C-alpha cells in the first residue's frame, strides 16, 4: 500500500527535489488575499459547508436547476447596439439568423443619462457607444420584425430606466404583444452606478424609489420579466477584485429586497424574478468558483434576513459577460483566446446566459466580423465540446471546492461589515465600496507596470509589428441629425396637451409615493413624450445628482516595486521646479456623458503618488467647463480619459476652447480606448501625447513631465502674462 502524503509531506519532498527553493515561492497569494497551495488533496475537503449539495437544491452551489445544461444550454447573447435603431435592428436580425437566442441592448450615453438627442450636452455622445432612443418610435424600429412574445430581451439601463422600460412595454403593445408576455431583463441596478459606472441621474434615495416601483409593477404585471439585474460586472471592470465583486453585488441585491419589502411587497412575490450579472476575467478557476460561491451566498443571506417560504427566492440566476478590461489593444487577436478562456470559465461556473466580447472592443465598437467570431465561440462550446453533457463537471475538485469556500468566507466578512453599516445605501454614502474598488484598481495597474502580473503582448512577449484591424466607426453627426429630424416630426404630430398632462402627473407623483412611477411613464410614452422630457419631469423634484471626485493615494507607489523608476520621476519633477518654482499641475477631465472613470482615477492616483499635483474634474463636463476649471486651477496640463468614442468631437472642441480663452499654453494629453487610426487626427488637432490601452503609467508620467518641461521653457513668459 502506497504511503498517503498530506500537503506538508509533499512540500518537504518538493523542496528536497528543488534544492533550496523556498516554500513561499510555491504558495501564491491572489489579489484577494487568498493563499493558493501547489497541491490539494481530499483532506482539504473536510469541513466545507457547501460540499454535500446537489444541483437545484439549497444552497444551489452546483447550479440553480437540477439538470442545468443537460436539458437546456445557456442562452447565447450578444450585447450590442449602435447608431440608429434602424441600423441596430439590421444587426440583431443577422445575429438571430446566425444562432443568437437572446438580445442584449446597448443604449447610447445620451439615453442613459436621460437626455434627448437634440440636447447640446450630448452632441458628441449620440449613437456612439450604443443605440439612440428618444421615443417609443425608436423602440418600435429597434424591434421591427423581431417578435417580442418569442424573443428574450435584456436591456442595460439604470439612470433612464423608467422611460426606456416604458417605451419597451408600449412597443410590445403596439406590436400586439401584451405586457404579461414580454420576457427578458432590465438592469435597473442603480446602486452599482453610484459606485463605479456613474450613469445615474437622480440622487440615491429617489433612485431606490424608482427601483422598488419597477419591482412592484413587474411582479404584478410581467411574470416572465426580470425586474432587476444586479450587476457585479461593472465593479470588476472598474478594478474590483473577485471578493469585492461578490460581496458588493450580493449586498446590492439584499438592499433591493429591503427596499421592496419596506414598500410592502412579499419577498416570495418578486425575489424569484431577480437576476444577477457578473464579469468573467482571466483567473480561470477563481472565476468558475466565484459563480458557485455567489449562489451559496445569495441563498444563505436571503433565507437569513428575509425568512422566505419559497426556495426559489434563494436561487441566484445570472448572466455573465467576458471581461472588457482584459481585452488589449496590442496583439488584438490574442483577445480571441482570452474571450474563449473566460467563456469556458463562465460556463463551468454555471451561468444561465452569456455574452462573449469581440476581440476589437479594446479599440472600438465590434464589427460584424468580430461579433461573428465572438458568437461562434459560444456555439462551439455548446455544440463541440461535451460541456452540456454533465451538470457541474468541476464539482469535487479539491482546488475548486476550496476556492469556492475561500471566496464564501472572505466575501462574508465584507457583507457582514456592510450590514453593520446599515446596508449598502449607507455604505455607498460613506464612500466605502468606491474607495475599496479604486484601491484595488490602482494596485492592479502597479502590478502590471512592475511586471508582477504578466499580460502577453503588453508588458511581456511584445510583438514587433502592429496588427491592423478593421473597426466600426459611427458617423455621430449624421446619427444625431437623423434623431433630431425624427424628434421634430414626432413633436409636430403628437397631442401636446396630452404630453403636458402626462409630464405633470409624473412631477406630482415624484412628490409622494402613492402612485407607481412606471405606470405613469407608460402612459407618457404612449402619448409620445420623450426620454428627455420625462426624465426632466422627475428632475424638477429629485434634482440631477452630482458627486465630488476624489482619489486614493499611497497605493500605486506602495505596490510598484521598482523604486529606481520612481526616483527618476522625482528627478524629472525637480528639474521642472527649477523652471517654474512649482510642481506640474494636471487637470484630469472626463468629457461628455461617459461615466467610466477607472483609467482617469488610476492615472490620478499614481501621478499624485509621484509628486505631480493632480486636480480631478467632475464627471460629465463640457469642453468649455473643463477649460474653465483648468484655468482656475492654474494647470499646466489637461488629461482627458476617453472610453466612449467621443474623442473626435470632444477633444478638438476642448483645444478650440483653450485657444478661444487664450490658454493654449496648457498641454492636452489623452488616453483610453482610442483607435490607432485616429491618433494623427488628434495630433493634428493639437494633442501632445496619446496613451492607449495597456500603456504603462510610469512611462506616461515620464512623457508628461518631459513634454511639459520642454513646453514650459518655450512658453514660460507667455504663461506668466496670461490674464485669468
How far is it, in rounded angstroms, from Cα 129 to Cα 615? 27
* Average pLDDT estimate for 435-450: 96
Residue 26 has pLDDT above 80, yes or no: no
Among 603, 588, 597, smallest CA distance to 238 is for: 597
Q: How far is 648 from 671, CA to CA, in rounded Å?
A: 13
Grid cell 461628455 in the structure block, residue = 592
Q: Which residues pair with 80 in a beta bridge?
A: 105
What's the rounded mean pLDDT across residues 247-257?
97
Annotated catalytic residue: which of 505, 596, 636, 648?
Answer: 596
The per-residue pLDDT for 176 is: 96
Q: What is the pLDDT of residue 723?
A: 42
Q: pTM for the complete prediction?
A: 0.91
Residues in the chain: 724
| Residues near 140 by beta carbon (within 8 Å), at least 6 away in sequence | 171, 174, 175
To the query of whether residue 596 is one of the catalytic residues in this protein, the response is yes
Instruction: Read off the pLDDT of each residue in 364-389 and give the average, rounded to a whole number.
Output: 92
Q: Which of 67-71, 149-153, 561-565, 680-684 has the lowest mean pLDDT?
A: 561-565
Q: What's the confidence (pLDDT) of residue 496?
A: 97
The strand pairing partners of 613, in sequence order, are 585
Q: Which residues contact 296 (CB under 8 A, 6 or more apart)?
A: 50, 59, 60, 61, 404, 408
The counts of H helices and E strands in the chain are: 27, 16
Q: How far is CA 167 from CA 139, 197, 539, 566, in A?
A: 6, 23, 19, 53
DSSP 121-154: GGTTTTTTSSB---SHHHHHHHTTTS-TTT-EEE
Burial class of 269 by CB neighbour count within 10 A (0 to 12, 13 to 18, 19+):
middle
Grid coordinates belonging to 164: 426606456
Residue with more model confidence, 490 or 672: 490
Q: What is the mean pLDDT of residues 461-468?
A: 82
Q: For 282, phi and psi rounded to 5 degrees?
A: -90, -5
Q: What is the DSSP letter of 621?
A: B
Q: What pLDDT is attached to residue 80?
A: 67
pLDDT at position 1 is 31
* Per-residue pLDDT tens digits for 70-87: 999 999 887 666 678 998
Q: Which pLDDT band holds residue 716 (cuts at 50, 70, 90)?
A: low
The rounded distance, in Å, linking the Cα atoms of 658 and 371 is 39
Q: Are 288 and 394 in contact (CB under 8 A)?
A: yes
> Residue 409 — pLDDT band, cuts 50, 70, 90?
very high
Q: Measured between alpha carbons, how far is 534 from 517 in angstroms, rounded to an integer?
A: 11
Whether the pLDDT of residue 643 is over 80: the answer is no
Q: In which band, very low, low, confident or very high, does the pLDDT at 104 lie, cut at 50, 70 and 90?
A: confident
In angstroms, rounded to a whole number, what is the distance separating the alpha carbons of residues 635 and 583?
A: 10
For residue 112, indicate whether it is catalytic: no
Looking at residue 28, what DSSP letter applies?
Answer: E
Pairing verdict, β 585-589 and 637-642:
parallel
Question: Looking at residue 97, what is its pLDDT?
Answer: 87
**What is the average per-residue pLDDT within 206-226?**
95
- Please compute the mean of the pLDDT values over residues 698-711 and round it to a whole number: 94
Residue 644 has a pLDDT of: 61
- Average of per-residue pLDDT values in the chain: 91
Q: Which residues, 6+ apart, have CB-to-CB distance to 717 below 8 Å?
A: none
User: What pLDDT is recorded for position 468?
Assistant: 76
Residue 459 above 60 pLDDT?
yes
Quick check: 19 pLDDT over 90? no
**The 3-state secondary structure of 221-244, one letter per residue:** HCCCEECEEEECHHHHHCCCCHHH
Average pLDDT over residues 173-179: 97
d(CA 190, CA 210) in angstroms, rounded, equals 9
Question: Of 79, 115, 256, 556, which one is the catalytic site residue?
Answer: 79
CB 125 within 8 A of CB 646: yes
pLDDT 10s digits, 118-140: 999 999 999 988 899 999 999 99
491-530: pLDDT as tens digits = 999 999 999 999 999 999 999 888 999 999 999 999 999 9
**CA atoms of 586 and 608, how far apart (whole Å):** 10
pLDDT of 3 > 70? The answer is: no
Determine the pLDDT at residue 4.
46
> What is the rounded average pLDDT of the residues 46-59?
88
Say how far residue 600 (Cα) sits from the centre of its chain: 15
Per-residue model confidence (pLDDT) at position 72: 95
Which residue among the candidates 138, 594, 609, 678 is catalytic per the annotation?
Answer: 594
Q: Report the largest interatomic distance among the alpha carbons of the chain, rounded to a whole angstrom.
A: 89
Choose the catalytic residue: 92, 202, 233, 587: 233
**List 234, 434, 601, 636, catalytic entry:** 234
234 is catalytic: yes
Contact 602, 697 (CB under 8 A): yes
Helix (H) / strand (E) element for 255: namely helix 242-262
Q: What is the Cα–Cα distance from 629 to 627, expressed in whole angstroms? A: 5
pLDDT digits (tens, 9 = 90+) for 537-570: 999 999 999 888 889 999 999 999 888 999 999 9
3 state SS of 431: coil
Told to judge if 217 belongs to the known catalytic residues of this protein, a careful annotator would answer: no
Inform me whether the pLDDT recorded for 196 exceeds 50. yes
**Once rounded to an integer, what is the mean pLDDT over residues 464-471?**
76
Q: Which helix (H) or strand (E) holds 353?
A: strand 353-355
For residue 9, the model assigns a pLDDT of 67
Block residue for cell numbers 426559489 = 312
Amino acid at each position: 500500500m502506497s504511503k498517503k502524503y498530506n500537503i506538508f509531506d509533499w512540500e518537504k519532498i518538493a523542496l528536497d527535489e528543488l534544492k533550496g527553493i523556498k516554500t513561499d515561492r510555491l504558495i501564491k497569494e491572489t489579489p484577494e488575499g487568498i493563499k493558493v497551495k501547489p497541491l490539494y488533496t481530499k483532506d482539504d475537503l473536510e469541513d466545507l459547508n457547501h460540499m454535500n449539495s446537489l444541483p437545484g437544491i439549497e444552497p444551489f452551489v452546483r447550479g440553480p436547476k437540477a439538470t442545468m445544461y443537460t436539458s437546456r444550454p445557456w442562452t447565447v447573447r450578444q450585447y450590442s447596439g449602435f447608431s440608429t435603431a434602424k441600423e441596430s435592428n439590421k444587426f440583431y436580425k443577422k445575429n438571430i439568423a446566425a444562432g443568437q437566442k437572446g438580445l442584449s441592448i446597448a443604449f447610447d450615453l445620451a439615453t442613459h443619462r436621460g437626455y434627448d438627442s437634440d440636447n447640446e450636452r450630448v452632441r458628441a455622445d449620440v449613437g456612439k457607444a450604443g443605440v439612440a432612443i428618444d421615443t417609443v418610435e425608436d423602440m418600435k424600429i429597434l424591434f421591427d420584425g423581431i417578435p417580442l412574445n418569442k424573443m428574450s430581451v435584456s436591456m442595460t439601463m439604470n439612470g433612464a430606466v423608467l422611460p426606456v422600460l416604458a417605451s419597451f412595454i408600449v412597443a410590445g403593445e403596439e406590436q400586439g404583444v401584451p405586457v404579461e408576455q414580454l420576457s427578458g431583463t432590465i438592469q435597473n441596478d442603480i446602486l452599482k452606478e453610484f459606485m463605479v459606472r456613474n450613469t445615474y441621474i437622480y440622487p440615491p434615495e429617489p433612485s431606490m424609489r424608482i427601483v422598488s416601483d419597477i419591482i412592484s409593477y413587474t411582479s404584478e404585471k410581467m411574470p416572465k420579466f426580470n425586474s432587476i439585474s444586479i450587476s457585479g460586472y461593472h465593479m470588476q471592470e472598474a478594478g474590483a477584485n473577485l471578493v469585492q465583486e461578490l460581496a458588493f453585488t450580493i449586498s446590492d441585491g439584499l438592499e433591493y429586497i429591503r427596499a421592496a419589502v419596506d414598500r410592502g411587497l412579499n419577498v416570495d412575490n418578486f425575489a424569484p424574478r431577480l437576476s444577477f450579472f457578473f464579469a468573467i476575467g482571466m483567473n480561470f478557476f477563481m472565476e468558475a468558483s466565484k459563480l458557485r460561491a455567489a449562489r451559496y451566498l445569495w441563498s444563505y443571506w436571503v433565507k437569513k434576513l428575509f425568512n422566505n417560504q419559497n426556495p426559489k427566492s434563494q436561487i441566484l440566476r445570472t448572466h455573465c459577460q467576458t471581461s472588457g478590461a482584459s481585452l488589449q489593444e496590442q496583439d488584438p487577436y490574442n483577445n480571441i483566446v482570452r474571450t474563449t478562456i473566460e467563456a469556458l470559465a463562465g460556463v463551468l461556473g454555471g451561468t444561465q446566459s452569456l455574452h462573449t466580447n469581440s476581440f476589437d472592443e479594446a479599440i472600438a465598437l465590434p464589427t460584424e466580423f468580430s461579433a461573428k467570431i465572438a458568437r461562434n465561440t459560444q456555439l462551439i462550446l455548446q455544440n463541440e465540446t461535451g460541456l452540456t453533457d454533465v451538470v457541474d463537471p468541476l464539482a469535487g475538485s479539491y482546488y475548486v471546492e476550496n476556492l469556492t469556500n475561500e471566496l464564501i468566507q472572505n466575501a462574508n466578512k465584507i457583507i457582514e461589515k456592510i450590514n453593520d453599516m446599515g446596508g449598502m445605501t449607507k455604505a455607498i454614502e460613506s464612500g466605502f465600496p468606491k474607495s475599496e474598488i479604486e484601491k484595488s484598481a490602482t494596485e492592479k495597474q502597479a502590478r502590471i507596470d512592475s511586471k508582477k502580473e504578466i499580460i502577453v503582448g503588453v508588458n511581456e512577449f511584445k510583438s514587433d509589428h502592429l496588427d491592423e484591424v478593421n473597426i466600426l466607426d459611427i458617423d455621430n453627426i449624421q446619427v444625431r441629425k437623423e434623431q433630431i429630424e425624427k424628434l421634430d416630426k414626432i413633436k409636430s404630430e403628437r397631442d401636446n396637451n396630452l404630453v403636458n398632462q402626462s409630464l405633470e402627473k409624473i412631477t406630482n407623483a415624484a412628490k409622494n409615493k402613492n402612485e407607481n412611477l412606471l405606470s405613469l411613464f407608460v402612459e407618457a410614452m404612449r402619448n409620445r413624450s420623450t426620454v428627455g422630457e420625462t426624465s426632466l419631469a422627475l428632475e424638477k423634484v429629485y434634482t440631477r445628482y452630482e458627486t465630488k471626485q476624489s482619489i486614493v493615494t499611497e497605493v500605486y507607489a506602495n505596490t510598484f516595486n521598482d523604486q529606481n523608476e520612481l526616483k527618476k520621476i522625482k528627478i524629472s519633477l525637480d528639474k521642472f521646479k527649477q523652471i517654474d518654482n512649482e510642481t506640474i499641475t494636471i487637470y484630469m477631465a472626463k468629457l461628455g456623458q461617459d461615466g467610466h472613470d477607472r483609467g482617469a482615477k488610476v492615472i490620478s492616483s499614481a501621478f499624485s503618488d509621484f509628486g505631480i499635483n493632480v486636480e480631478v474634474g467632475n464627471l460629465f463636463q463640457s469642453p468649455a467647463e473643463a477649460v474653465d476649471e483648468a484655468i482656475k486651477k492654474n494647470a499646466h496640463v489637461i488629461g482627458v480619459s476617453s472610453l466612449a468614442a467621443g474623442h473626435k468631437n470632444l477633444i478638438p472642441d476642448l483645444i478650440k476652447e483653450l485657444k478661444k480663452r487664450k490658454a493654449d499654453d496648457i498641454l492636452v494629453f489623452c488616453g483610453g480606448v482610442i483607435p490607432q487610426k485616429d491618433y494623427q487626427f488628434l495630433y493634428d488637432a493639437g494633442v501632445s501625447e496619446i496613451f492607449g490601452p495597456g500603456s504603462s503609467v510610469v512611462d506616461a508620467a515620464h512623457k508628461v513631465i518631459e513634454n511639459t518641461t520642454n513646453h514650459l521653457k518655450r512658453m514660460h513668459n507667455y504663461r506668466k502674462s496670461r490674464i485669468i
